[in-house]
Structures are given as structure tokens and as C-alpha cells.
Structure 1
Amino acid sequence: MASLSLSRKKNASRNAAVERKNLITVCRFSVKTLIDRSCFETIDDSAPEFLNFASILEQILSHRLKGQLTWFGYESPRSFWDYIRVACSKVSHSCICSIENMENVSSSRAKGRAWIRVALMEKRLSEYITAALRDYKTTRRFYDDGAIVLGEEANMLAGMLLGLNAIDFSFCLKGEGLDGSYPAVIDYTPYLKFTQSSDSISSDEEELRTLGSSGSESSTPENFVPPFLDENSWYNKCKKSEQKYRLALEQKGYLEELVRLREVQLSDSVTQNKLLLQRIKDIELNHKLEKEQLEYIIVELQDQLKTFHRLGHLSADASLSQISFDPGHSHDGKLDSSRLTGGKEETPSLLGLCGSLTSVASYKSLTSLKSSECLASPTTEMTSPGLTPS
């Protein structure tokens, strides 16, 4: 049991070493293809060489990256931008703060991809990587054992990226390449050779001829060669066949892995498509409900408005009928003076007389005229003392 676990550990370490070596080798190839492409045209987001290089660099910086422990003890995934943001914070005139404050970039992975593009346009990508690798304490805190940035391959990576300073890049920081929801997938196809040269074909044909001739000549005892005399040639042929078999097996494994990645991407796209369709249906349903509610509210408001108009007309008719049936009011709402005077027209003299008679002062003047001091009646003159009738 102990030997089995030990062999598993050895196999795991060997696989990790092979993975690191392959990533560094592919990164070297991608840098070379980028330099070759830049001789003919400007490198931008649409260049497949750049997209492949960005995916390779993202895979290298994310190799054996530790997760972030939450409050409850669970480990959540982390992006390489968290490491770059801390390790490159002391670089003078860095773009870390500007990328951290970008409004259209929200996720950590998208910020890391934006940092790669900005660093390439500034021609300082190698400088950032070198500064991050020098902070060994921070690097050790973010990565597990066996990571590329903790091994000897890290120094090779910084040296390879130095050649990219000779390329003028032009990127848009609002494109689809900054979408953090899609993983970085490396396309190994440009770095594989599936061509079969004429030399190999001729060598295979020659091997078949030699095998056939040896089989045909074996019937003749005079030309028979014992197997032990030609042991080296058979050993070399077996070695070549074994190498070809391993190469074909590796290519087959790569193609199977590529198909698996494409299937995962397809399933993710189908799932996202279903989610988007369900979201569209929910939005349409909500819009329909809101429209029905608004139409119902409009109908209610119209009914209330009609009711208010009907009540206003009824109150106006009631007031008019009350005024028309009031005997003390005329058609224009004023008192009818002809009813008060018995239908006769009043003259100014009569009005003045009536006013003088009804006033208190005129009443007092009439009583004063009736007094004995001012007026003499015939009876008083006849009965007054000292006077006799004639």
C-alpha cells in the first residue's frame, strides 16, 4: 500500500513537471509567432496569435494558484489578478490603480486580462513579471508547491517576455476578450506538425522492402543471417516504432483533450442559452403583467373621471332649479322691485318722500311743527284767556 501511494506521488510530480515544461515551451512558441506576425501587421485583439498567447500566459499565472479561504472555511477560486495587484503594487508608475478603478471591468479575471493588454501596450510586461517574482514572500503566499512561478521556469518566462517590448500592440479595453465568464483555452494546433516528409515515407518503404527481402531470402540457406547477428538493427527499428507510437499516442491524447474542452464549452453555451431564454420569458411575462395592471389603472381612472363629471352636472342642475323656484329672486338673481311697489313705477319725488317720512329726523321735525309753540290752531285762539269773541 505504501509503495502504491509512493508511486502515485511520483507519477503526480512527473506529470506536474511535464505540464510546466509544456506550458513554457508553448509560451516560447507563441512569443515567436507574435514577433513573426508583427513584422507584417499590427497586433490587436483580433489576432489569433495574441489570443493564444494571452490564454497561455493566463494559464501559466494561474498554475497551482491557491484559493481564497472564506469566513466559513470554504475555499473559493481566485484569479491571478489578485496576486499581480499585490505583488506589483510597488512598481513605479504602474497601471494597477487605473485598472482597479475601471468602470466597465468588474470581475477579477477580466481585470487580469485588461492588465495583460495594458502592460503589452506599455511594453512593461516583463518588468511587471520580474517585480512580482522578486516578491517571493507574496508569491509563496498565493501559490502552492510545484507552481511555475515558484520554479526555475519563472526566470525563463521573464526572459521570453522581454522580446515582446519590440512589438507595437493596439487593444480595445471594451471588447469581448475581457469577458471573465469564459475560461482561457489554449490552441496547440499551430505548434503541432502533422506533415509526413518524403524521407520518412522512403524509409518506411525501405524497411518494408528489407523485411520482405529478408523473408524471401530466408528460404535460401546460403543467404540466411542469424537473428543475433542483426540484433542492433532490429533494436533500432523497434525504438523508432516505439517513438512513432508514443508520438501518435500523445497527439491522440491532445485531440481527445481538445474535443473534451470543446464539449465543455458547448455545454456551457447551451446552459447559458437556456438561462437567457428563460430570462427573456420572465421579462416578457413581467412586461405583460405590468401592461395589464396599467390598463386596469387607466380604466379605473377613466371611470372615476366620468363619475366626477356626472356629479358636477348634477350639482349645477340642482342649484339652478333652487334659484328658479325661489319667489324672492328674479331670473337674474336680484330682488323684484315691482312686487314691492305693487307693480307701479316709482318716481324720484315719491322715493324722496318715502325716505323722509321713514327717517327718524323727519319724524322729529313733524312733531315739532305740531307743538303749540310754533303752530296756532283756531280752537286755541278762541279759548285763550283775555280774548273775547267779537
Structure 2
Amino acid sequence: MAALSLSRKKNASRNAAVERKNLITVCRFSVKTLIDRSCFETIDDSAPEFLNFASILEQILSHRLKGQLTWFGYESPRSFWDYIRVACTKVSHSCICSIENMENVSSSRAKGRAWIRVALMEKRLSEYITAALRDYKTTRRFYDDGAIVLGEEANMLAGMLLGLNAIDFSFCLKGEGLDGSYPAVIDYTPYLKFTQSSDSISSDEEELRTLGSSGSESSTPENIGPPFAMDENSWYNKCKRVEQKYRLALEQKGYLEELVRLREVQLSDSVTQNKLLLQRIKDTELNHKLEKEQLEYIIVELQDQLKSYHRFGHLSADASLSQISFDPGHSQDGNGKHDSSRLSGGKEETPSLLGLCGSLTSVASYKSLASLKSSECLASPTTEMTSPGLTPS
């Protein structure tokens, strides 16, 4: 039992070592493909080489990352951004605070992906990784034993990322690449070589033909003898080689089927999101149409109210002017000014004349008053006082 557990531990450690080596190797290949692609065009979010590199780097930084213990003792998953945010606080003029305060990025995984893009645009990704790895205490607190960032591969990672400083990146921090709901999927297809020479094909066919002929000949009694016994080891080795090649082809087939399945899932999710976006666009257009109609109706009402206001203003102005022109108490002199001297200076007219003037409300009555004053039918105290030959009694 102890030997079985020991063998399991050895197998687990060997698998972890193979996983670390494969991730570092694939990361080196992705950096090389990025450098080759940058010679012809600018690298942005649409480049498949960058998307693969970002997925590989995310897998490396998330390798054997510890979870966060809650108050109830449960372990919740954690993103590599939690480690970068703490380990890179001592980096001068870092982008950590700006990414932490981004409004359109909410999840921790999305902030980590935004940090990768900003660090590449700043040409400081290797500097951030080196500063984080130097803080060994924080790294040890966030990762379990066997993690890539705790092994010798970490120094290789910081060194190979240094070559990315020669590339000019251009990213949009509001695109779909920052969606934290999708996991990072690595595409190993560009790094696999499916080369098979004609010699190997002929040898495989020869081996299969030989195996088939040996099986048919072995059923005949005349071929049973010492020659078959002498070549038993060679036949066994050939069978082993064919079986090994079959298993390798079967594993590649399984990988490709899994890759196709992931692509189908992503395609179905994209179709669903596309339908939702189209429905949202239709709703937005309908709302905009309704708002436009309401605004047009409001504009027509305001124009009608403005016309009625101008019409009412003209009528009120005409009424006020006519009232002023017909009011005898507001008579004007030749210069258009009110004759206030009659009201303030001199003697007042008789009460009977004032009453008569106050009762007149039309132009005709006003003219009749003027005719009465001119015909001397009515004598005022002022005329009697100023007439020659008359003395006041």
C-alpha cells in the first residue's frame, strides 16, 4: 500500500514537471510567433498569436494558484490579478492603480487581462514579472508547491518576455477580450508538426502488410516451425511500434475533437450573444423613434404657444397704446412728452369741468369738450382773472 502511494506521488510529480515544461515551451513558441508577426503588421486584439499568448501567460500565472479562505473555512477561487496587484506595488509608475479603478472592468480575471495588455503597450511586462518574482514571500503565500513561478522556470519566463519590448502593441480596453466569464483556452495546433516522410509511410505500410501476412500465414500448418520462433521478438517490437503510433494518433484525434467541441461551445455562445445584441439594437431603435416623435410633438406645441404669445403681446400693446392715446389725463405736447405742467403747476380747473372730462371715454366726446372750451360758453376762473378790464371782486 505504501509502495502504491509512493508511486502515485512520483507520477503526480512527474506529470506536474511535464506540465510546467510544456507551458514554458509553448510560451517560448508563442513569443517567437508574436515577434515574427510584428514584422509585417501591428499586433492588436484580433491577432490569433496574441490571443494564444495571453491565454498561455494566464495559464502560467494561474498554475497551482491557491484559493482564498473565507470566514466559513471554504476555499473560493482566486485570479492571478490578486497576486500581481499585491506583488507589484513597489514598481515605480505602475499601472496597477489605474487598472484597479477602471469602471468598465469589474471582475478580477478581466482586470488581469487588462493588465497584460497595458503592460505590453508600456513595454514593461518583463519588468512587472521580475518585480513580482523577487517578492518571494508574497509569491509563496499565493502559490502551492510545484507552481511555475516558484521553480526554475520562472527565471526563464522573465527572460523570454523581455523580447516583447521590441513590439508595438495596440489594444482596446473595452473589447470582448476583457470578458472574465470565458476561460483561457490554449490552441496547441500552430505548434504541432504533422510531418511524415514517405519512408515512414512505406515502413508503416510494410509493417502492417507484414503483420497481416504473418497472421494469414500462421494459420497454415506448413509455416509453423523454427523460423517463426526465431523472429518472435522482432514481430513483438513491430507490434509495439504500431501500437504506440496508434495511441499517438488516437490522442491527437481526441485533442482535435476536444478543440472542435470548445469551438462549437464558443460559437453557440457567440450566436446567443449576437441574438441578444440584435434584440437590444431593435429595442434601442424603437425607443429612439418614440423619443423622436415625442420631441417633434413637443416642438410643434412650443411653436404654437410661441405664436399665440406673440399675437397676444401685439394685442396687449395695441390696447395699452389706445388707452394712453384716449386718456385725457395723459395728453402730450408737441415733442411727445407728457404735459405735467397742467397737473403740477398752475391752478386746477373747476370741479364741474373735471367731472365732465372724467366722464368722457371716446374721441367724439373729447372733441366736443374742446369745442365747448373754444366757444367761451363756459368761463373758467383763470380767464376771468386774466381778462382786461375785469377786476376780481
TM-score range relative to shorter protein: 0.5 to 0.7
Please give the secondary structure, in 1, of the residue aligned with 2:329: coil
For residue 322 of structure 1, report the CA deviation from its aligned partner. 29
Distance 1:10 1:215, change over 3 A: closer
Distance 1:60 1:222, change over 3 A: same
* Contact 2:60/2:148 (8 A) holds in 1: yes
> Aligned partners of 2:231 and 2:43: how far apart in 1?
56
For residue 305 of structure 1, report the CA deviation from its aligned partner. 22
Please give the secondary structure, in 1, of the residue aligned with 2:117: helix
What is the Cα-based RMSD across aligned positions, in Å?
11.7
For residue 345 of structure 1, report the CA deviation from its aligned partner. 25
* Contact 1:31/1:160 (8 A) holds in 2: yes
> Aligned partners of 1:166 and 1:35: how far apart in 2?
8
For residue 199 of structure 1, report the CA deviation from its aligned partner. 2.6
For residue 164 of structure 1, report the CA deviation from its aligned partner. 1.7
* Contact 1:31/1:53 (8 A) holds in 2: yes
Per the alignment, residue 383 of structure 2 pairs with 380
TM-score (norm 1): 0.63
Please give the secondary structure, in 2, of the residue aligned with 1:388: coil
For 1:79-125, what per-residue CA distance to the aligned partner results, in whole angstroms no more than 9, with x for missing partners? 11111111111122322223223333232212211111122122221
> Aligned partners of 2:113 and 2:95: how far apart in 1?
13
Distance 1:227 1:57, change over 3 A: farther
> Aligned partners of 1:250 and 1:389: how far apart in 2?
143
Give the stretch that moved more between structures: 379-388 or 149-158.
379-388
Distance 1:142 1:275, change over 3 A: farther
Distance 1:200 1:82, change over 3 A: same
Where do 5+ consecutive residues of structure 1 fail to align?
none
Give the stretch that moved more between structures: 271-280 or 182-191.
271-280
Distance 1:266 1:76, change over 3 A: farther
Distance 1:316 1:131, change over 3 A: closer
> Aligned partners of 1:213 and 1:389: how far apart in 2?
168
Give the stretch that moved more between structures: 370-379 or 99-108.
370-379
Distance 1:387 1:327, change over 3 A: closer
> Aligned partners of 2:64 and 2:325: how far apart in 1?
100
* Contact 1:338/1:344 (8 A) holds in 2: no
* Contact 2:133/2:139 (8 A) holds in 1: yes
Give the stretch that moved more between structures: 142-151 or 326-335.
326-335
Where do 5+ consecutive residues of structure 2 fail to align?
none
* Contact 1:382/1:388 (8 A) holds in 2: yes
Give the stretch that moved more between structures: 71-80 or 228-237.
228-237
Distance 1:237 1:307, change over 3 A: same
Distance 1:82 1:211, change over 3 A: closer
Distance 1:342 1:369, change over 3 A: closer
Please give the secondary structure, in 2, of the residue aligned with 1:318: helix
> Aligned partners of 1:268 and 1:77: how far apart in 2?
23
For residue 58 of structure 1, report the CA deviation from its aligned partner. 0.6
* Contact 1:338/1:345 (8 A) holds in 2: no
Distance 1:239 1:39, change over 3 A: farther
Distance 1:380 1:352, change over 3 A: closer
> Aligned partners of 1:286 and 1:387: how far apart in 2?
94
* Contact 2:350/2:380 (8 A) holds in 1: no
For residue 163 of structure 1, report the CA deviation from its aligned partner. 2.1
Give the stretch that moved more between structures: 305-314 or 29-38.
305-314
Per the alignment, residue 206 of structure 1 pairs with 206
Distance 1:235 1:166, change over 3 A: farther
> Aligned partners of 1:208 and 1:130: how far apart in 2?
53
Give the stretch that moved more between structures: 272-281 or 354-363.
354-363
For residue 159 of structure 1, report the CA deviation from its aligned partner. 2.2
* Contact 2:349/2:380 (8 A) holds in 1: no
* Contact 2:332/2:339 (8 A) holds in 1: no
> Aligned partners of 2:387 and 2:44: how far apart in 1?
147
* Contact 2:114/2:173 (8 A) holds in 1: yes
For residue 363 of structure 1, report the CA deviation from its aligned partner. 40
* Contact 2:88/2:128 (8 A) holds in 1: yes
> Aligned partners of 1:319 and 1:387: how far apart in 2?
45
Distance 1:233 1:141, change over 3 A: same
* Contact 1:328/1:336 (8 A) holds in 2: no
Distance 1:346 1:126, change over 3 A: closer
For residue 261 of structure 1, report the CA deviation from its aligned partner. 3.5
Please say which structure displays the higher CA radius of gyration. 1
Give the stretch that moved more between structures: 285-294 or 58-67.
285-294
For 1:249-274, what per-residue CA distance to the aligned partner results, in whole angstroms no more than 9, with x for missing partners? 32133234324544654676688789
Please give the secondary structure, in 2, of the residue aligned with 1:164: helix
For 1:164-218, what per-residue CA distance to the aligned partner results, in whole angstroms no more than 9, with x for missing partners? 2222222222222122222211112222234543232222233356557878999
> Aligned partners of 1:383 and 1:127: how far apart in 2?
114
* Contact 2:64/2:146 (8 A) holds in 1: yes
Please give the secondary structure, in 2, of the residue aligned with 1:328: helix
Distance 1:226 1:342, change over 3 A: closer
Distance 1:101 1:19, change over 3 A: same
